[in-house]
Amino acid sequence: MTDESKLAHQLTAILSDLIAIPSPYPPGDTTEICAYIRKRYEGAGYRCQTLGRAEGVDNVVARFGNGAPRLALNCHIDTVAPGLAEDWLSDPFEAVLRDGALYGLGANNCKGSTALHIWLGEEIMRAGGPRQGEITFTFTGDEERLGPDGMRYLREVGALKPDFMLVGGPTGMDLIAEERGVLWLRISASGRAAHGGDPEAGDNAILRMMRLAAHLRSEMESRLALRVSGEKRSTMNIGRIQGGHNVNVVPSACVLEIDRRLLPDEDVDAAFQEMAGILEGSGEPAQSFEVEFLTGTNGFSPPLDGAGISALAAAIKARRGRAPAFINALAVSEGRYFAGDDIEIVNFGPGDGATSHAANEHVPLDQMVDAAMILRDTVDRLLGL
Write down the pLDDT at residue 44. 98
Query: How confident is the model over 175-234, as pLDDT tens digits?
Result: 999 999 999 999 999 999 999 999 999 999 999 999 999 999 999 999 999 999 988 999
What does 170-234 look like in DSSP terms, one character per residue?
--TTSBB--B-EEEEEEEEEE-B--BTT-GGGSB-HHHHHHHHHHHHHHHHHHHHTT-EETTEE-
CATH among 1.10.150.530, 3.40.50.1970, 3.40.630.10, 1.25.10.10 for 3-179+300-383: 3.40.630.10
Write down the pLDDT at residue 285. 97
CA gyration radius, the chain: 23
Residues whose CB falls within 8 Å of the CB of residue 290, separated by 6 or more in sequence, listed in order: 187, 188
Distance separating alpha carbons of residues 62 and 159, to the nearest angstrom: 10
Q: Where in the chain is the domain with CATH 3.30.70.360?
A: 182-297
Distance separating alpha carbons of residues 384 and 65, to the nearest angstrom: 12
Provide the 3-class DSSP secondary structure of residue 362.
strand
Distance separating alpha carbons of residues 57 and 310, to the nearest angstrom: 34
- Does 299 have pLDDT greater than 80? yes
Whether 290 contacts 185, CB under 8 Å: no
- Top CATH class, 182-297: alpha beta
Q: Where in the chain is the domain with CATH 3.40.630.10?
A: 3-179+300-383
Query: How confident is the model over 78-122, as pLDDT tens digits?
Result: 999 999 999 999 999 999 999 999 999 999 999 999 999 999 999
> What pTM does this model have?
0.90
